[in-house]
Amino acid sequence: MLGTFGGALEARKINASDGRLTAGVRGEIETDEGVLVIRRIHIDFSLRAPEDVRDTVERVHGVFASRCPVFRSLHTAIQITSSYTIIPE
């Protein structure tokens, strides 16, 4: 998902390369009939960027998952959410 989000930002001329876009991921696991099962995943993106790109980042964040192969493959089995933080330059 990091690659899809970064690619969508880059397509809109927002630099997401060279470590400017990172992600922290948290998974939540439950037991189902004695078997550990991943139920939820949350991705927290951090982007070093100027503050004036915030509106574009918000729009991209709202739609990128629908074009992401990982999200599309897993979202029916695992709840996947994401958020982002802009770290001002």
pLDDT in tens, 38-54: 999 999 999 999 999 99
Q: Is 12 helix (H, G, I), strand (E, B) or coil?
A: coil
pLDDT in tens, 60-82: 999 999 999 999 999 999 999 99
Query: Domain total for the chain?
Result: 1
This prediction's pTM: 0.93
- One-letter amino acid identity for 22? T
Nearest to 62 by CA among 10, 13, 9: 9
CA distance 23 to 79: 17
Instruction: Determine the structural domain holding residue 41 and report its residue range.
Output: 2-88
67: CATH: 3.30.300.20
Query: Are 16 and 54 within 8 A, CB to CB?
Result: no
